Amino acid sequence: MSLRQILLIPDKRLKQKTEMVSSINKNELALIDDMFETMYDAPGIGLAAPQVGILSKIIVMDCAKEEDEKPDPIAMINPEIIWTSEEMRTYEEGCLSIPDFFADVTRPEKIKVRYLDEKSKLIEREADGLLATCIQHEIDHLEGKLFIDYISRLKRERITKKFQKLARLERA
Ligand code: NI
């Protein structure tokens, strides 16, 4: 296992669409291991493959946030939301690709998701609460969509400019 570098905005790879995974073999499993390690190290509760520069439909999550909760690592390959509730939920989201920035995002409170697990087994499950928010946030990454795409243009431009400036400083 090894840590991968997490891309930050405005890296163009974060805005690209991803490819379906056609088979789950050694490379994919190694990537998933690395993604978990990178996510826990950050630390964060979710990570999508484009955030480590891989344009494949793979996400990992662990929404067991409280200290007394058991770890709950979940990897999803080719995830697809097949149902959403009408009830919505607002949660203050953040993203490892936009460090130290948080904003309220409103999304469906409950969802049903279909995906392949690491053993290529087709799974369908319902999720609500934080896990539902997290799954939707991570699946958005696979479409090149970030949580700042849900906030006001003014706020989005302000945060984007800040990170453009940081990227320029880093190159200088
Ligand atoms: Ni994110």
Residue 65 inside a domain? The answer is yes
Residue 3 inside a domain? The answer is no
Number of domains in the chain: 1
Q: Using the mean position of ligand 1's atoms as its centre, give its distance from the Cα of residue 80 in Å.
A: 17
| Amino acid at residue number 4 | R
Residue 5 inside a domain? The answer is no
Residue 120: give its domain's CATH number. Answer: 3.90.45.10
Task: Based on the residue annotation, tell me whether 138 is a catalytic residue of this protein.
Answer: yes
Which stretches within the chain are classed as H helix? 26-41, 129-142, 153-171
3-state helix, strand and coil shares in percent for the chain, rounded to the nearest 5: 35, 25, 40
* φ/ψ (deg, to 5) at 49: -55, -40
Residue 55 inside a domain? The answer is yes
Residue 97 inside a domain? The answer is yes
Calculate the average pLDDT of the chain.
96
Q: In the prediction, which pLDDT does 1 show?
A: 81
pTM of the model: 0.96
Query: Distance (Å, rounded) from C-alpha 140 to C-alpha 18?
Result: 11
- Out of 37, 69, 138, 170, pick the active-site residue: 138
Q: Using the mean position of ligand 1's atoms as its centre, give its distance from the Cα of residue 86 in Å.
A: 23
Closest CA to 30 of 2, 5, 49: 2
Q: Using the mean position of ligand 1's atoms as its centre, give its distance from the Cα of residue 47 in Å.
A: 6
Percentage of the residues of the chain whose pLDDT score is greater than 70: 100
Residue 132 inside a domain? The answer is yes
In the DSSP assignment, the letter for residue 75 is E
Which domain covers residue 159, as residue numbers?
12-171
Q: Using the mean position of ligand 1's atoms as its centre, give its distance from the Cα of residue 26 in Å.
A: 25
Residues with Cβ–ion distance below 5 A, ligand 1: 95
Q: Using the mean position of ligand 1's atoms as its centre, give its distance from the Cα of residue 74 in Å.
A: 15
The per-residue pLDDT for range 45-82, each reduced to its tens digit, is: 999 999 999 999 999 999 997 778 899 999 999 999 99
The per-residue pLDDT for range 90-108, each reduced to its tens digit, is: 999 999 999 999 999 999 9
